[in-house]
Amino acid sequence: MNILIIGGGGREYSIGLALKKDNRVKKLYFSPGNGATDMLGENIPQNDFEKLADFAKSNKIDLTIVGPETPLVEGIVDVFKKHKLTIFGSSKKASQLEGSKRFMKNFLARQGIPTARYIETTEYEKACQFIDTLSEPIVVKADGLCAGKGVIIAKSKEEAKKVALDMLSGESFGSAGSVIVVEEFLNGYELSVFAICDGEDYKILPAVQDHKRLLDNDEGPNTGGMGTYAPTPLIDDILYQKIEERVVKPTLAGMKKEGNPFEGVLFIGLMIVKNEPIVLEYNVRFGDPECEVLMPLLKTPASELFYKAATRDLKSLKIEFYNKYAVAVVMASENYPYGNSKPSEIIIDKQMSKELEENTHVSFAGVSKEDDKLFATGGRVLLCIGVGDSIRQARDRAYELCGQIHFAGKKFRTDIAYQALKHD
Protein backbone atom coordinates (compact mmCIF):
# COMPACT_ATOMS: atom_id res chain seq x y z
CA MET A 1 0.00 0.00 0.00
CA ASN A 2 1.25 3.52 -0.82
CA ILE A 3 0.20 6.12 1.72
CA LEU A 4 0.26 9.92 1.67
CA ILE A 5 0.23 11.73 5.03
CA ILE A 6 -0.84 15.37 5.04
CA GLY A 7 0.97 17.53 7.60
CA GLY A 8 4.46 17.98 8.97
CA GLY A 9 4.46 17.84 12.76
CA GLY A 10 5.24 15.28 15.44
CA ARG A 11 1.73 13.89 14.99
CA GLU A 12 2.30 13.07 11.34
CA TYR A 13 5.79 11.72 12.05
CA SER A 14 4.31 9.33 14.63
CA ILE A 15 1.63 8.14 12.20
CA GLY A 16 4.41 7.57 9.66
CA LEU A 17 6.43 5.62 12.20
CA ALA A 18 3.44 3.37 13.00
CA LEU A 19 2.88 2.75 9.28
CA LYS A 20 6.55 2.04 8.73
CA LYS A 21 6.32 -0.95 11.12
CA ASP A 22 3.47 -2.31 9.07
CA ASN A 23 4.68 -4.67 6.33
CA ARG A 24 1.65 -3.93 4.13
CA VAL A 25 2.96 -0.41 3.58
CA LYS A 26 5.17 -0.05 0.53
CA LYS A 27 5.91 3.64 0.26
CA LEU A 28 5.14 6.68 2.43
CA TYR A 29 4.82 10.29 1.30
CA PHE A 30 4.43 13.38 3.49
CA SER A 31 3.07 16.72 2.40
CA PRO A 32 4.76 18.93 3.36
CA GLY A 33 6.53 16.76 5.98
CA ASN A 34 9.49 18.06 7.98
CA GLY A 35 13.28 17.70 8.03
CA ALA A 36 12.99 14.21 9.53
CA THR A 37 9.99 12.67 7.75
CA ASP A 38 12.17 12.12 4.71
CA MET A 39 13.86 9.37 6.75
CA LEU A 40 10.49 7.56 6.69
CA GLY A 41 9.37 8.43 3.18
CA GLU A 42 9.39 11.22 0.62
CA ASN A 43 8.40 14.84 1.27
CA ILE A 44 6.08 16.52 -1.23
CA PRO A 45 6.02 20.31 -0.82
CA GLN A 46 2.53 20.99 -2.16
CA ASN A 47 -0.52 22.55 -0.55
CA ASP A 48 -2.90 22.89 -3.48
CA PHE A 49 -5.54 20.17 -2.98
CA GLU A 50 -6.19 19.59 -6.69
CA LYS A 51 -2.47 19.18 -7.35
CA LEU A 52 -2.16 16.83 -4.38
CA ALA A 53 -5.04 14.76 -5.75
CA ASP A 54 -3.24 14.61 -9.13
CA PHE A 55 -0.10 13.51 -7.31
CA ALA A 56 -2.06 10.81 -5.46
CA LYS A 57 -3.45 9.49 -8.75
CA SER A 58 -0.21 9.46 -10.65
CA ASN A 59 1.72 7.87 -7.77
CA LYS A 60 -0.88 5.17 -7.09
CA ILE A 61 -1.59 6.33 -3.55
CA ASP A 62 -4.02 3.85 -1.96
CA LEU A 63 -4.78 5.93 1.11
CA THR A 64 -4.31 9.53 2.22
CA ILE A 65 -4.36 10.38 5.94
CA VAL A 66 -4.91 13.98 7.00
CA GLY A 67 -3.19 15.13 10.22
CA PRO A 68 -4.00 18.81 10.88
CA GLU A 69 -7.34 20.62 11.06
CA THR A 70 -6.69 23.38 8.53
CA PRO A 71 -6.76 21.24 5.35
CA LEU A 72 -9.81 19.39 6.72
CA VAL A 73 -11.71 22.61 7.41
CA GLU A 74 -10.66 23.87 3.95
CA GLY A 75 -12.11 20.78 2.28
CA ILE A 76 -9.23 18.50 1.25
CA VAL A 77 -11.40 15.42 1.84
CA ASP A 78 -14.12 16.69 -0.52
CA VAL A 79 -11.55 17.32 -3.28
CA PHE A 80 -9.99 13.85 -2.92
CA LYS A 81 -13.40 12.16 -2.86
CA LYS A 82 -14.46 14.04 -5.97
CA HIS A 83 -11.49 12.34 -7.64
CA LYS A 84 -12.57 8.96 -6.20
CA LEU A 85 -9.47 8.77 -4.01
CA THR A 86 -9.51 7.03 -0.61
CA ILE A 87 -8.87 9.52 2.18
CA PHE A 88 -9.12 9.35 5.96
CA GLY A 89 -10.49 12.57 7.43
CA SER A 90 -13.70 14.56 7.87
CA SER A 91 -15.51 16.39 5.08
CA LYS A 92 -15.53 20.17 4.95
CA LYS A 93 -19.03 20.29 6.38
CA ALA A 94 -18.36 17.77 9.19
CA SER A 95 -15.12 19.64 10.02
CA GLN A 96 -17.30 22.55 11.14
CA LEU A 97 -17.41 20.70 14.46
CA GLU A 98 -13.92 22.14 14.94
CA GLY A 99 -13.94 24.98 12.42
CA SER A 100 -16.88 26.85 13.93
CA LYS A 101 -17.63 27.05 17.63
CA ARG A 102 -21.07 28.38 16.79
CA PHE A 103 -21.81 25.31 14.64
CA MET A 104 -20.46 23.04 17.37
CA LYS A 105 -22.47 24.61 20.21
CA ASN A 106 -25.70 24.69 18.19
CA PHE A 107 -25.17 21.06 17.18
CA LEU A 108 -24.68 20.03 20.81
CA ALA A 109 -27.84 21.90 21.80
CA ARG A 110 -29.90 20.36 18.94
CA GLN A 111 -28.74 16.85 19.85
CA GLY A 112 -29.16 17.29 23.62
CA ILE A 113 -25.50 16.49 24.30
CA PRO A 114 -24.31 17.99 27.61
CA THR A 115 -22.37 21.25 27.20
CA ALA A 116 -21.88 24.55 29.05
CA ARG A 117 -24.80 27.03 28.94
CA TYR A 118 -24.06 29.59 26.21
CA ILE A 119 -25.17 32.07 23.63
CA GLU A 120 -23.68 32.72 20.22
CA THR A 121 -23.98 36.21 18.87
CA THR A 122 -22.59 38.91 16.59
CA GLU A 123 -23.96 41.69 18.83
CA TYR A 124 -22.11 43.28 21.70
CA GLU A 125 -25.33 44.19 23.58
CA LYS A 126 -26.58 40.60 23.49
CA ALA A 127 -23.21 39.36 24.75
CA CYS A 128 -23.37 41.87 27.64
CA GLN A 129 -26.91 40.87 28.60
CA PHE A 130 -25.89 37.22 28.80
CA ILE A 131 -22.65 38.00 30.63
CA ASP A 132 -24.74 39.75 33.31
CA THR A 133 -26.65 36.50 33.95
CA LEU A 134 -23.47 34.43 34.56
CA SER A 135 -21.24 34.14 37.58
CA GLU A 136 -17.51 34.81 37.24
CA PRO A 137 -15.22 33.67 35.66
CA ILE A 138 -16.80 33.77 32.20
CA VAL A 139 -15.64 32.08 29.00
CA VAL A 140 -15.61 33.99 25.69
CA LYS A 141 -14.73 32.18 22.45
CA ALA A 142 -14.12 33.38 18.91
CA ASP A 143 -16.13 31.33 16.40
CA GLY A 144 -13.38 30.48 13.88
CA LEU A 145 -10.02 28.71 13.96
CA CYS A 146 -7.50 30.79 15.92
CA ALA A 147 -4.62 28.31 16.29
CA GLY A 148 -5.76 27.40 19.80
CA LYS A 149 -5.82 31.00 21.03
CA GLY A 150 -9.48 31.94 20.56
CA VAL A 151 -10.72 31.03 24.05
CA ILE A 152 -10.46 33.61 26.81
CA ILE A 153 -11.38 32.92 30.42
CA ALA A 154 -12.30 36.33 31.82
CA LYS A 155 -12.01 36.82 35.57
CA SER A 156 -14.73 39.47 35.77
CA LYS A 157 -17.86 40.58 33.90
CA GLU A 158 -16.07 43.80 32.88
CA GLU A 159 -13.18 41.82 31.40
CA ALA A 160 -15.59 39.46 29.60
CA LYS A 161 -17.36 42.45 28.03
CA LYS A 162 -14.06 43.95 26.91
CA VAL A 163 -12.95 40.62 25.40
CA ALA A 164 -16.30 40.32 23.60
CA LEU A 165 -15.96 43.84 22.20
CA ASP A 166 -12.37 43.24 21.03
CA MET A 167 -13.38 40.00 19.31
CA LEU A 168 -16.52 41.41 17.67
CA SER A 169 -14.70 44.50 16.39
CA GLY A 170 -12.17 42.21 14.68
CA GLU A 171 -9.34 43.61 16.81
CA SER A 172 -8.29 40.33 18.46
CA PHE A 173 -8.86 37.64 15.84
CA GLY A 174 -10.00 39.35 12.63
CA SER A 175 -12.97 37.68 10.96
CA ALA A 176 -12.65 34.55 13.17
CA GLY A 177 -14.11 36.69 15.98
CA SER A 178 -17.03 38.26 14.10
CA VAL A 179 -19.26 35.68 15.79
CA ILE A 180 -18.60 34.82 19.41
CA VAL A 181 -19.75 32.24 21.92
CA VAL A 182 -20.14 33.32 25.54
CA GLU A 183 -20.50 30.49 28.03
CA GLU A 184 -20.53 29.55 31.67
CA PHE A 185 -17.27 28.43 33.24
CA LEU A 186 -17.16 24.75 34.19
CA ASN A 187 -15.15 23.62 37.16
CA GLY A 188 -13.77 20.09 36.95
CA TYR A 189 -10.95 18.20 35.29
CA GLU A 190 -10.31 17.91 31.58
CA LEU A 191 -10.08 14.72 29.61
CA SER A 192 -9.62 14.00 25.89
CA VAL A 193 -11.30 11.07 24.23
CA PHE A 194 -10.56 9.97 20.68
CA ALA A 195 -12.76 7.87 18.43
CA ILE A 196 -11.85 6.66 14.95
CA CYS A 197 -15.05 6.95 12.91
CA ASP A 198 -16.23 5.80 9.50
CA GLY A 199 -19.55 7.65 9.37
CA GLU A 200 -21.45 4.74 10.93
CA ASP A 201 -19.18 2.89 13.32
CA TYR A 202 -16.44 3.94 15.68
CA LYS A 203 -13.55 2.63 17.77
CA ILE A 204 -12.69 4.44 20.98
CA LEU A 205 -8.98 4.77 21.72
CA PRO A 206 -7.29 4.70 25.16
CA ALA A 207 -7.83 7.96 27.06
CA VAL A 208 -4.91 10.39 27.00
CA GLN A 209 -3.96 13.24 29.30
CA ASP A 210 -2.20 16.28 27.84
CA HIS A 211 -0.24 18.95 29.76
CA LYS A 212 -1.10 22.30 28.21
CA ARG A 213 0.92 24.69 30.35
CA LEU A 214 4.55 25.42 29.55
CA LEU A 215 5.99 24.86 33.03
CA ASP A 216 5.98 22.24 35.76
CA ASN A 217 3.01 22.20 38.17
CA ASP A 218 0.79 23.46 35.35
CA GLU A 219 2.21 26.97 35.53
CA GLY A 220 3.11 29.44 32.79
CA PRO A 221 1.34 30.15 29.49
CA ASN A 222 -0.82 27.73 27.54
CA THR A 223 0.89 25.83 24.72
CA GLY A 224 -0.15 23.30 22.09
CA GLY A 225 0.73 20.63 24.66
CA MET A 226 4.00 19.84 26.44
CA GLY A 227 3.56 16.13 27.04
CA THR A 228 1.06 13.29 27.23
CA TYR A 229 0.57 9.82 28.59
CA ALA A 230 -1.88 7.00 27.96
CA PRO A 231 -3.87 5.17 29.09
CA THR A 232 -4.74 7.46 31.98
CA PRO A 233 -6.18 6.01 35.20
CA LEU A 234 -8.26 9.21 35.60
CA ILE A 235 -11.07 7.49 33.71
CA ASP A 236 -12.90 4.39 34.91
CA ASP A 237 -15.32 2.05 33.15
CA ILE A 238 -18.42 3.85 34.39
CA LEU A 239 -17.21 7.20 33.09
CA TYR A 240 -16.14 5.58 29.83
CA GLN A 241 -19.61 4.21 29.38
CA LYS A 242 -21.22 7.57 30.12
CA ILE A 243 -18.97 9.21 27.53
CA GLU A 244 -19.82 6.57 24.96
CA GLU A 245 -23.59 6.66 25.54
CA ARG A 246 -24.06 10.38 26.15
CA VAL A 247 -21.48 11.85 23.83
CA VAL A 248 -19.92 9.54 21.21
CA LYS A 249 -23.09 7.76 20.04
CA PRO A 250 -25.35 10.84 19.91
CA THR A 251 -22.62 12.83 18.13
CA LEU A 252 -22.27 10.26 15.34
CA ALA A 253 -26.02 9.67 15.10
CA GLY A 254 -26.66 13.43 15.05
CA MET A 255 -24.08 14.12 12.33
CA LYS A 256 -25.50 11.34 10.20
CA LYS A 257 -29.07 12.52 10.70
CA GLU A 258 -28.10 16.05 9.72
CA GLY A 259 -26.49 14.84 6.50
CA ASN A 260 -22.84 15.19 7.58
CA PRO A 261 -21.76 11.67 8.57
CA PHE A 262 -18.56 11.93 10.55
CA GLU A 263 -15.51 10.16 9.17
CA GLY A 264 -12.05 10.60 10.62
CA VAL A 265 -10.79 11.24 14.14
CA LEU A 266 -13.36 12.62 16.53
CA PHE A 267 -11.45 14.26 19.37
CA ILE A 268 -13.77 15.16 22.21
CA GLY A 269 -12.56 17.68 24.78
CA LEU A 270 -14.49 17.05 27.98
CA MET A 271 -14.77 18.68 31.36
CA ILE A 272 -15.67 16.11 34.00
CA VAL A 273 -17.87 17.83 36.55
CA LYS A 274 -19.02 15.70 39.50
CA ASN A 275 -18.32 12.58 37.44
CA GLU A 276 -20.45 13.78 34.54
CA PRO A 277 -18.90 14.35 31.09
CA ILE A 278 -19.65 17.76 29.59
CA VAL A 279 -18.41 18.64 26.09
CA LEU A 280 -16.08 21.64 25.87
CA GLU A 281 -15.16 21.21 22.25
CA TYR A 282 -14.68 18.84 19.37
CA ASN A 283 -11.65 18.58 17.15
CA VAL A 284 -11.72 16.64 13.93
CA ARG A 285 -8.18 15.24 14.04
CA PHE A 286 -5.70 13.64 16.40
CA GLY A 287 -4.31 15.86 19.13
CA ASP A 288 -0.64 16.68 18.98
CA PRO A 289 1.09 15.38 21.25
CA GLU A 290 -1.76 12.92 22.00
CA CYS A 291 -1.22 11.00 18.75
CA GLU A 292 2.40 10.35 19.66
CA VAL A 293 1.40 8.18 22.64
CA LEU A 294 -1.52 6.47 20.93
CA MET A 295 0.41 5.23 17.89
CA PRO A 296 2.95 3.13 19.86
CA LEU A 297 0.11 1.49 21.82
CA LEU A 298 -1.74 0.41 18.69
CA LYS A 299 -1.37 -3.33 18.08
CA THR A 300 -3.75 -3.46 15.12
CA PRO A 301 -1.76 -2.53 11.98
CA ALA A 302 -2.20 1.22 11.51
CA SER A 303 -2.81 0.87 7.76
CA GLU A 304 -5.71 -1.50 8.42
CA LEU A 305 -7.32 0.82 10.96
CA PHE A 306 -7.11 3.93 8.77
CA TYR A 307 -8.00 2.13 5.54
CA LYS A 308 -11.05 0.46 7.03
CA ALA A 309 -12.16 3.76 8.55
CA ALA A 310 -11.76 5.50 5.18
CA THR A 311 -13.78 2.82 3.37
CA ARG A 312 -16.66 2.47 5.86
CA ASP A 313 -15.54 -0.93 7.02
CA LEU A 314 -14.71 -0.39 10.70
CA LYS A 315 -17.38 -2.89 11.66
CA SER A 316 -15.17 -5.72 10.41
CA LEU A 317 -12.19 -4.59 12.51
CA LYS A 318 -11.28 -5.80 15.97
CA ILE A 319 -9.07 -3.06 17.32
CA GLU A 320 -6.29 -4.13 19.67
CA PHE A 321 -3.83 -2.27 21.86
CA TYR A 322 -0.69 -3.41 23.64
CA ASN A 323 -1.16 -3.86 27.36
CA LYS A 324 1.42 -1.12 27.96
CA TYR A 325 1.76 2.57 28.75
CA ALA A 326 3.33 5.36 26.74
CA VAL A 327 4.63 8.74 27.87
CA ALA A 328 5.68 11.57 25.54
CA VAL A 329 7.78 14.53 26.67
CA VAL A 330 7.91 17.51 24.31
CA MET A 331 11.28 19.21 23.89
CA ALA A 332 10.64 22.75 22.75
CA SER A 333 12.91 25.52 21.57
CA GLU A 334 14.12 28.37 23.74
CA ASN A 335 11.46 30.97 22.96
CA TYR A 336 8.43 28.68 22.65
CA PRO A 337 5.55 29.62 22.83
CA TYR A 338 6.37 33.34 22.55
CA GLY A 339 8.37 33.54 19.35
CA ASN A 340 10.96 32.11 17.01
CA SER A 341 14.28 30.73 18.13
CA LYS A 342 17.63 30.58 16.36
CA PRO A 343 18.08 27.25 14.53
CA SER A 344 20.40 24.94 16.43
CA GLU A 345 21.84 21.56 15.58
CA ILE A 346 20.31 18.51 17.26
CA ILE A 347 22.79 16.01 18.61
CA ILE A 348 21.59 12.60 19.72
CA ASP A 349 24.03 10.51 21.79
CA LYS A 350 25.18 7.51 19.79
CA GLN A 351 25.63 5.27 22.81
CA MET A 352 22.27 4.12 24.04
CA SER A 353 21.39 1.29 26.39
CA LYS A 354 19.56 -1.71 24.94
CA GLU A 355 16.62 -0.89 27.19
CA LEU A 356 16.31 2.59 25.69
CA GLU A 357 16.84 1.38 22.15
CA GLU A 358 14.01 -1.11 22.52
CA ASN A 359 11.54 0.99 24.48
CA THR A 360 11.95 4.58 23.37
CA HIS A 361 11.91 6.60 20.21
CA VAL A 362 11.91 10.20 19.01
CA SER A 363 9.10 11.82 17.08
CA PHE A 364 10.39 14.83 15.16
CA ALA A 365 8.33 17.99 14.68
CA GLY A 366 9.99 21.43 14.29
CA VAL A 367 13.14 20.30 12.52
CA SER A 368 14.94 20.93 9.24
CA LYS A 369 17.76 19.06 7.59
CA GLU A 370 20.94 20.48 6.13
CA ASP A 371 23.93 18.42 4.97
CA ASP A 372 22.41 15.40 6.73
CA LYS A 373 22.33 17.27 10.03
CA LEU A 374 19.07 17.93 11.86
CA PHE A 375 18.37 21.43 13.17
CA ALA A 376 15.78 22.56 15.70
CA THR A 377 13.82 25.26 13.88
CA GLY A 378 11.56 26.50 16.64
CA GLY A 379 8.29 25.68 18.36
CA ARG A 380 7.90 22.14 19.59
CA VAL A 381 11.03 20.54 18.17
CA LEU A 382 10.68 16.85 19.01
CA LEU A 383 9.16 14.41 21.46
CA CYS A 384 10.82 11.70 23.49
CA ILE A 385 8.49 8.75 23.84
CA GLY A 386 8.94 5.96 26.36
CA VAL A 387 6.91 2.76 26.45
CA GLY A 388 6.73 0.49 29.51
CA ASP A 389 4.71 -1.86 31.67
CA SER A 390 3.73 1.00 33.99
CA ILE A 391 3.34 4.74 33.60
CA ARG A 392 6.36 5.21 35.86
CA GLN A 393 8.56 2.94 33.75
CA ALA A 394 7.43 4.59 30.51
CA ARG A 395 7.99 8.04 32.06
CA ASP A 396 11.49 7.16 33.33
CA ARG A 397 12.47 5.84 29.92
CA ALA A 398 11.14 8.94 28.13
CA TYR A 399 13.14 11.19 30.47
CA GLU A 400 16.26 9.11 30.07
CA LEU A 401 15.99 9.65 26.33
CA CYS A 402 15.55 13.42 26.90
CA GLY A 403 18.94 13.36 28.63
CA GLN A 404 20.54 11.95 25.48
CA ILE A 405 19.30 14.65 23.13
CA HIS A 406 20.93 18.05 22.90
CA PHE A 407 20.27 21.35 21.16
CA ALA A 408 20.86 24.92 22.25
CA GLY A 409 17.96 26.31 24.28
CA LYS A 410 16.16 22.98 24.67
CA LYS A 411 13.48 22.96 27.32
CA PHE A 412 10.93 20.48 28.58
CA ARG A 413 8.65 19.86 31.53
CA THR A 414 10.00 17.46 34.13
CA ASP A 415 6.65 16.35 35.58
CA ILE A 416 4.72 14.76 32.70
CA ALA A 417 2.19 12.20 34.06
CA TYR A 418 2.43 13.58 37.61
CA GLN A 419 -1.31 13.31 38.17
CA ALA A 420 -1.29 9.59 37.41
CA LEU A 421 1.82 9.00 39.51
CA LYS A 422 0.39 10.83 42.54
CA HIS A 423 -1.74 7.78 43.24
CA ASP A 424 1.11 5.28 42.84
Binding site for ligand GLY (CB under 6 A): 210, 224-225, 283, 287-288, 290
- Which runs of consecutive H residues, i.e. helices, occur in 231-284? 237-243, 249-257
Counting every residue written for the chain, the total comes to 424
Torsion-angle region of 325 (φ positive above 0: left; ψ -120 to 50: alpha; else: beta): beta
183-222 binders of ligand AMP (CB under 6 A):
183, 185-186, 190
User: Minimum Å distance from CB 137 to ligand AMP?
Assistant: 8
Of the candidates 98, 111, 102, 94, which has an alpha carbon nearest to the alpha carbon of residue 262? 94
Contacting range for ligand AMP; rule: CB under 6 A; set: 30-38, 86-94, 180-188, 388-396: 180-188
Q: Which helix (H) or strand (E) holds 226?
A: none
Judge contact between 421 and 395, C-beta under 8 A: yes
User: Minimum Å distance from CB 289 to ligand AMP?
Assistant: 15
| 69 binding partner (options ligand AMP, ligand GLY, none; Cβ < 5 to 8 Å by kind) | none
| 139 binding partner (options ligand GLY, ligand AMP, none; Cβ < 5 to 8 Å by kind) | ligand AMP
Angle subtended by helix axes 101-111 and 249-257, to nearest 10 = 100
Residue 234 in contact with ligand AMP, rule: CB under 6 A: no
User: Minimum Å distance from CB 142 to ligand AMP?
Assistant: 10
Residue 281 in contact with ligand AMP, rule: CB under 6 A: yes
| 290 binding partner (options ligand GLY, ligand AMP, none; Cβ < 5 to 8 Å by kind) | ligand GLY
| 190 binding partner (options ligand AMP, ligand GLY, none; Cβ < 5 to 8 Å by kind) | ligand AMP
User: Minimum Å distance from CB 282 to ligand AMP?
Assistant: 9
Beta bridge partners of 142: 180
Identify which of residues 62 and 281 has a Cβ nearer to ligand AMP in the complex: 281
Identify which of residues 115 and 377 has a Cβ nearer to ligand AMP in the complex: 115
Identify which of residues 272 and 387 has a Cβ nearer to ligand AMP in the complex: 272
Of the candidates 265, 291, 298, which has an alpha carbon nearest to the alpha carbon of residue 208? 291
Identify which of residues 130 and 379 has a Cβ nearer to ligand GLY in the complex: 379
Identify which of residues 128 and 186 has a Cβ nearer to ligand AMP in the complex: 186
DSSP code for 216: G
Size of the site for ligand AMP (CB under 6 A): 12
Beta bridge partners of 266: 195
Distance of alpha carbon 192 from alpha carbon 208, whole angstroms: 6
Burial 96-121 (b: 16+ CB within 10 A, else e): bbbbbbbbbbebbeebebbbbebbbb
| 36 binding partner (options ligand GLY, ligand AMP, none; Cβ < 5 to 8 Å by kind) | none
Identify which of residues 12 and 290 has a Cβ nearer to ligand GLY in the complex: 290
223 by DSSP, 3-state: which? coil
Distance of alpha carbon 353 from alpha carbon 415, whole angstroms: 23
Distance of alpha carbon 387 from alpha carbon 394, whole angstroms: 4
The residues of the shown chain that bind ligand AMP, judged by CB under 6 A, are: 116, 139, 141, 151, 183, 185-186, 190, 269, 271, 280-281
